[in-house]
Structure 1
């Protein structure tokens, strides 16, 4: 397994004083893989460099009572995101998962997948040939590269275990470049096989480009006029992780 190269991640974090900076710095210094932390009090931002996945950094901040919003990861054109939803009808909050992708080196990408609101069990994660989710997982095509590489296909991401509370997560290192994935879809299916049929437990989403570090300086949405924190409350209410 190739050693994971370090990369930078930027978070918006409420910072009110030097005491906030001290508590954030102390908390993140305990996270394995973090090499440096720089807090920007004026702009309410925390810049982290290392090999720790964004979800681990977020949890560390939340554990000390600090909310946070991911503002960018990696260099330009090296990050992506996939919102995982059920396409079953009549579901109030269809969003059940989020995958963050960061390319930390040449053809070396970290998959940081978080799930919630699912039935306990084993789920299979896969990248599909295309990004057509008009009919849920059924319209996404076969597993990427499976027709040429079989079980060695890079589209076979592996298993994720969902616990008794309906939550799960995994961090994977895959030999792939971000540009190879943009526009394809990701599917999570319950069971031991890569099923295509749709039910409430099958999740699907399109992989889209995400902002690199310092590429997203939005504070207020030009469409709604809401701040990023107001948007966060609204999206969390809809099930967003």
Structure 2
């Protein structure tokens, strides 16, 4: 399910001169998976059309020594069809960000990076409820509006929320870029995204839970899927929800403890 369809990524990048812009262009142009690059020094803005993951493009930009923050994303369609994001946290040090982009009426892009996982395969699913009052226990079952059996992403018989497996490397990081033809951004906003402890058998196993959940073990990390900015829809330099500025957030956890500017004492 790795997608080759390019998406457009809008980054804020700390730049002060044309030499900065030249360095950013040199880091991106000609790289496999990068289609086009536009740099605006005055706006401190870099627009990249690419089939790479967000993390890969960000790493290329930051290889120049300049910080980069994703501000928005879009597809090739003239209109923004919808974008969403889930900030994940959970057991131990697990944290991550997964973004959803509706590339077309039929294709949804899922791009994410999750850290702190055990190396190996982990099931990834959209769950029906965006209720985290009991952590992932209150998220409900897999999103399954058509009452089908559990399956894999490429199967016709599957839950809409069945996104298969992501793979964490030896460092505990799973970075992925998937495309799905059943998931729609407008249907999953307000629901939750959950990462499981084990591998999803995609409904092909012999365990009684195979056709229900993929027998992928306990739920490890979770987050509510919220609407996010499309291209050129995010002019803010500070996050109103936690007071973290555009550049400060690069030094803070992407989710969970330590994200807010408030001290622990102020939260009591």
Structure 1 residues 66 and 126, CA gap change in structure 2 (3 angstroms): same
1:163 aligned to which of 165, 169, 187:
169
Aligned to 1:49: 49
Change (3 A) 1:164 1:60: same
Query: How many aligned positions are there?
Result: 232
1:34–1:49 contact (8 Å) kept in structure 2: yes
Q: How big is the shift at 1:49?
A: 2.3
Partners of 1:137 and 1:187 within 8 A in 2 = yes
Deviation at 1:147, TM superposition (A): 6.4
- Does the 8 A contact of 1:121 with 1:190 survive in 2? no
Unpaired runs of 5+ residues, structure 2, are 152-157, 201-212, 260-268
* 2:95/2:115 contact within 8 Å kept: yes
TM-score computed with the length of structure 2 as normaliser: 0.76
Structure 1 contact 31–60 (Cα < 8 Å) conserved? no
Tell me, what secondary structure is at the counterpart of 1:207?
A: strand
Q: Distance in 2 between matches of 1:224 and 1:153?
A: 34
CA contact (8 A) 1:10 1:73 kept: yes
- The match for 2:206 is none
> 1:212 corresponds to which residue?
230
Q: Which residue of 1 aligns with 2:99?
A: 100
Larger CA deviation: 118-127 vs 25-34: 25-34
Contact 1:9 1:54 in 2 (8 A): yes
The residue correspondences of 1:82-231 to structure 2 (distance < 5 A) are: 82-86=86-90, 88=91, 96-145=95-144, 148-150=147-149, 151=151, 152-175=158-181, 176-193=183-200, 194=213, 197-198=218-219, 202-220=220-238, 227-231=245-249
Q: Which residue in the other structure is 1:80 paired with?
A: 84
Moved more, 27-36 or 17-26: 27-36
Segment of structure 1 superposing worse, 214-223 or 37-46: 214-223
**Which stretch has the larger CA shift, 202-211 or 68-77?**
68-77
Deviation at residue 128 of structure 1 after TM alignment: 0.6
CA distance in 2, matches of 1:160, 1:109: 16
Contact 1:96 1:239 in 2 (8 A): no
- Distance in 2 (CA, whole Å) between partners of 1:33 and 1:156 is 27
Q: Please report the TM-score for the alignment, with normalisation by the length of structure 1.
A: 0.84
Per the alignment, residue 265 of structure 2 pairs with none
Contact 1:31 1:57 (C-alpha < 8 Å) held by counterparts = no
